[in-house]
């Protein structure tokens, strides 16, 4: 696993090499902005799942949503908001590193990279990965941080408005991961291998 300062870009030479070797390019959005737009339905579904879990675990949220007197949202800017922003940044970085944990031989791989930019940390790999493993890599941050974590926080007495928000942000931020899973599930045959090349995905 290597450190890099930049997010991955598509290597045209690698694309040509993969195609010449019989790999097939996945039909997918060609940039992150379009991927986020197309994944909006997943974002909404994920948000409902996260809110549903928190609704039954966190009573203040339940009271907030069923209050027939209506509600008022008030924002107060305090110096501590910077701390919250840092925690959100770290939480989304954790999301990316959970992806990395499930990459085969991640620590020994010379085709797997990690880094931190202005928005969050990131992990990417050009390793050849089985379809099933690719799906596991893609789904685990959503399962661990938005489905399992709220129950753990609730048991520890740490489930509050902010941690509920963290789980919700992660849930909605996993929408592109869910989109990728659907694209792979629909297009890639069982038992195939997958290689990422920047914003391009190939399978064989």
Domain ranges of the chain: 2-20+46-65+93-203
* pLDDT tens-digit map of 56-114: 998 888 777 776 665 555 656 677 788 988 899 899 889 989 998 998 888 888 888 88
Of 198, 170, 156, 8, give the one whose Cα is nearest residue 94: 170
Higher pLDDT, 8 or 185: 185
69: helix, strand or coil = coil
Helix (H/G/I), strand (E/B), else coil: 195: strand
pLDDT in tens, 181-202: 999 999 999 999 999 988 899 9
Residue 70 pLDDT: 58
pLDDT digits (tens, 9 = 90+) for 15-42: 999 999 999 999 999 888 899 999 999 9
Total-model pTM: 0.87
Burial 118-139 (b: 16+ CB within 10 A, else e): eebbbbbbbbebebeebbbbbb
Residue 11 and residue 198 in contact, taking contact as beta carbons nearer than 8 Å:
yes
């Amino acid at each position: 696993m290597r450190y890099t300062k930049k997010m991955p870009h598509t290597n045209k030479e690698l694309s040509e090499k993969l195609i010449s070797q019989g790999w097939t390019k996945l039909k997918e959005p060609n940039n992150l902005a379009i991927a986020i737009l197309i994944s909006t339905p997943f974002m909404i579904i994920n948000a409902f799942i996260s809110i549903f879990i928190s609704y039954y675990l966190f009573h203040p949220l339940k009271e907030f949503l069923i209050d027939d007197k209506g509600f008022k949202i008030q924002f107060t800017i305090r110096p501590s908001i910077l701390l919250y922003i840092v925690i959100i940044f770290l939480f989304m970085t954790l999301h990316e590193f959970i992806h990395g944990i499930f990459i085969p031989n991640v620590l020994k791989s010379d085709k797997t990279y990690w880094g931190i930019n202005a928005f969050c940390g990131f992990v990417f790999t050009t390793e050849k990965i089985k379809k099933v493993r690719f799906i596991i890599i893609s789904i685990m941050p959503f399962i661990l941080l938005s489905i399992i974590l709220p129950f753990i926080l609730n048991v520890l007495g740490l489930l509050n408005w902010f941690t509920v928000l963290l789980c919700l942000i992660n849930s909605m931020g996993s929408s592109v991961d869910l989109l990728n899973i659907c694209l792979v599930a629909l297009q890639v045959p069982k038992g195939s291998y997958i290689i990422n090349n920047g914003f391009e995905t190939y399978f064989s």
